[in-house]
Amino acid sequence: RTVYVNGQYVPESEASISVFDRGFLFADGIYEVTAVLNGRLMDFEGHVARLHRSLNELNMHLTLNDNALRDIHRQLIEKNDLQEGLVYLQVTRGVADRDFAYPDASTPVTLVAFTQQKAIIDSPLAERGLRVISLPDMRWGRRDIKTVQLLYPSMAKMEAKKRGADDAWLVESGLVTEASSSNAWIVDHDNTLITRELSRSLLHGITRRAVMQLARQHDMKVEERGFTIKEAQNAREAFVTSATSLVYPVISIDQRSVGDGTPGDIAKALRRLYIEAGL
């Protein structure tokens, strides 16, 4: 694979980052994941807009403009002959002596990007649907910033796997915030789509926004509010959205089937619509 590191395209075996990089020492960095379908980026503008938001919230400064960022993505897709998968982009606060305080603002950020090949359209999980468990949301309080500090989501994912499930839905004060790396949705018995309102408690998903728009364009009702695990278990359907899954149906929650325990029609339809929009 050819990867991008600080202005250069190099074979992955030649790419290197300092031991003193703040991304490594403090998880002081942010990232974006953009899906690639048919060699084309999905919702790139949305991902770049959120990247800027994360940078601003953390007082990090990127000198590259949006065209340069797009060019990096396109070049990586081309150099790696990527048809389907994703582009990962990470920006950290750069290299400095270990100190909790941020280094001088003139310290150059570290920017890396790489591609990952992945079946998106013919994803087996989209066919089968996800089994999820619920876990307490023990992440930090600024989940709206897309930081590389992902240890709790990893722990949650491992706990789900240990219990024979695919993923975890995270619960805070009785309400689902989101899944370990995607936004959580349910469909009630009036076919209204429900997903939690935006706040600092969850990531403002780009796929969430796109799917919400598509749903409204197709005259589906969308309500933004929190819901409990019990409401989700009793819903007609459940699903998640993210750049890596697009839309994955959820077929069970804490071992209780959702609907008839097979992928729901609305989730499947939204998945199809989103893929068509990206092709």
Give the interface with ligand PDD as residue ranges (CB under 6 A): 33, 178, 181-183, 203, 205-208, 241-244
Nearby residues of 81 by Cβ (< 8 Å), 6 or more positions away:
none
Crossing angle of helices 66-79 and 44-57, in 10° steps, is 120
User: Whole-angstrom Cα distance, residue 186 to residue 256?
Assistant: 14
Query: Nearer Cβ to ligand PDD, position 110 or 207?
Result: 207
Count of residues for the chain? 279
Query: Nearer Cβ to ligand PDD, position 10 or 55?
Result: 55
Active site residue 230: no
Answer yes or no: are the C-beta atoms of 231 and 176 closer than 8 Å: no
Shortest Å, Cβ 96 to ligand PDD: 26
**How distant is the alpha carbon of residue 272 from its chain centre?**
19
Query: Nearer Cβ to ligand PDD, position 178 or 237?
Result: 178
Query: Nearer Cβ to ligand PDD, position 235 or 243?
Result: 243
DSSP track, the chain = -EEEETTEEEEGGG----TTBHHHHH--EEEEEEEEETTEESSHHHHHHHHHHHHHHTT----S-HHHHHHHHHHHHHHTT-SSEEEEEEEE--B--S-SSPPPTTSPPEEEEEEEE---TT-HHHHH-EEEEEEE--S-S-TTS-BS--HHHHHHHHHHHHTT-SEEEEEETTEEEEESSSEEEEE-TT--EEEPPPSTTS---HHHHHHHHHHHHTT--EEE----HHHHHTSSEEEEEETTTEEEEEEEETTEESTTSS--HHHHHHHHHHHHHH-
Shortest Å, Cβ 29 to ligand PDD: 13
Q: One of 146, 157, 162, 221 is an active-site residue; which one?
A: 146
Query: Nearer Cβ to ligand PDD, position 96 or 239?
Result: 239
Q: Provide the annotated active-site residues.
A: 146
